[in-house]
C-alpha cells in the first residue's frame, strides 16, 4: 500500500514547527519525520494518530491512501 498524498509538512509548517521539534513532541527521530514527509515511510496507525491528535485533524486529512 502506498500513500497518494501526505500533508505532514504542510501541517508542520502551518504550526511553525521544525522537523526536530515535531520529532521530539511525537517521540521519533528527525529522520523519521523527513522520511514520512518525503513519502518514503508510511507511519504506523498509532504514529498517524499521534500526528492527528497534535494537529487536531483527522488522520485522513494528513495521509491519503
Beta strand spans in the chain (E): 5-6, 63-64
3-state SS class at 54: helix
Average model confidence (pLDDT) across the chain: 94
> Tens digits of per-residue pLDDT, 17-35?
999 999 999 999 999 999 9
Domain with residue 19: its CATH number is 1.10.260.40
Is residue 64 assigned to a domain? Answer: no
- Tell me the percentage of the chain whose pLDDT exceeds 70: 95
Beta-ladder partners of 64: 5
Decide which of 10 and 4 is more confident. Answer: 10
CB 63 within 8 A of CB 55: no
Q: How many C-beta atoms lie closer than 10 Å to residue 50's C-beta?
A: 16
Kindly state whether residue 23 falls inside one of the protein's structural domains: yes
Q: What is the pLDDT of residues 36-58, one digit of tens each?
A: 999 999 999 999 999 999 999 99
Quote the number of domains for the chain.
Answer: 1
Amino acid at each position: 500500500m502506498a500513500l497518494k498524498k501526505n500533508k505532514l509538512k504542510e501541517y508542520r509548517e502551518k504550526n511553525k514547527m521544525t522537523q526536530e521539534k515535531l520529532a521530539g513532541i511525537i517521540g521519533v527521530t528527525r529522520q523519521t519525520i523527513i522520511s514520512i514527509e518525503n513519502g518514503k515511510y508510511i507511519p504506523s496507525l498509532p504514529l498517524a494518530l499521534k500526528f492527528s491528535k497534535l494537529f487536531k485533524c483527522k488522520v485522513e486529512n494528513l495521509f491519503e491512501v
